[in-house]
Amino acid sequence: MNQPITASLAWSSLAWVILFATPVEAARELGVDISHFQGETGMPQANWNQLAAEGRTFAYMKSTEGLNPPGNIDPAWPTNVARATSAGILSGVYHFARPDNRPTTAGAVQEADFFVATAGSAMTPGHLRPVIDLERGNTLSTAALSDWVLAFVAEVVAKRGPSAEPIVYTTSGYALGELDNRVANLDLWIRADFGDPQTGQPFTTGVFNNWTIWQYNVGPAGGVNPIDQDVVHTEVKPLSALLIVPEPSTMMLTIGVVAWTVVAVRRRSVCTS
């Protein structure tokens, strides 16, 4: 008689422990962002391997700026994507926007098209969502610059699908004073005050609802100095949530083709048996 009571008490105690135990939060994922400044022909594979060994799990590479001409294509981006992948680091690409050169929404669409045409191979399932780097255009009104950003984002989505919606990289100054709240729901990658990547926070998100990535430092990492260092807001949106996934229509088509093939094979087997 005592054994069931003891077991019951034990299970009851365990239930209380589970119910009130403080959950252990996952560590925030760390990464870097680079361009040809870390190597005109790409950062050496040894540095990528060292970044991975240090626990860096993602990297963004500059691929384009403005238009070409008068903009440019970063020559190192394809090599950097390949080497990051080889090191087991998730990769994505960013476009340095130039609304100062073409301030209309038509200009935003042109730049988005150029970005996709150049670096679309890195905007496929398994890569990180692309990024618009906004550090120019403060001569435009907040409404006009917000229009520009929204037009760029919409064009990339139209070309690559909703799971490739661009993240907005910008500074605290732009987040606070250069955009309006129509961009609030976009994912923000902010360069703000530096701090501890695991416990710190950027001091502001401006008009954005929250931050998704924070550039928390510029310094040595992976044997490279300087290099921009970034952290994902894992407790809100983990790195896995920033991956591009196949569009539902594509997935259904694939499933349909596989199912049709299986049925066809089975029918053929029946006919020949």
Q: What is the pLDDT of residue 1?
A: 39
The answer to whether domain 25-242 has CATH 3.20.20.80 is yes
Q: What is the pLDDT of residue 12?
A: 41
Q: Is 34's pLDDT higher than 80?
A: yes
Average pLDDT over residues 136-141: 98
pLDDT tens sequence across 18-32: 334 444 568 999 999
**Which residues, 6+ apart, have CB-to-CB distance to 213 below 8 Å?**
31, 167, 169, 187, 188, 189, 190, 230, 231, 232, 233
Q: What is the pLDDT of residue 24?
A: 53
Q: What is the pLDDT of residue 273?
A: 46
Q: What is the pLDDT of residue 247?
A: 86
Q: Is 258's pLDDT higher than 80?
A: no
Alpha-carbon span 63 to 75, nearest angstrom: 8
Nearest to 129 by CA among 175, 161, 151: 161
What's the mean pLDDT when you consider all of the chain? 87
**Residue 87 main-chain phi, psi, to 5 deg:** -85, 0
3-state secondary structure 166-194: CEEEEEHHHHHHCCCHHHCCCCEEEECCC
pLDDT tens sequence across 47-79: 999 999 999 999 999 999 999 777 799 999 999
Q: Is 256's pLDDT higher than 70?
A: no
Nearest to 122 by CA among 169, 171, 89: 89
Q: Is 3's pLDDT higher than 60?
A: no
3-state secondary structure 82-125: HHHHHCCCEEEEEEECCCCCCCCHHHHHHHHHHHHHHHHHHCCC
Average pLDDT over residues 87-93: 98
From 5-9, 176-180, 223-227, the region with the lowest mean pLDDT? 5-9
Q: What is the pLDDT of residue 10?
A: 38
The domain spans of the chain are: 25-242, 247-273
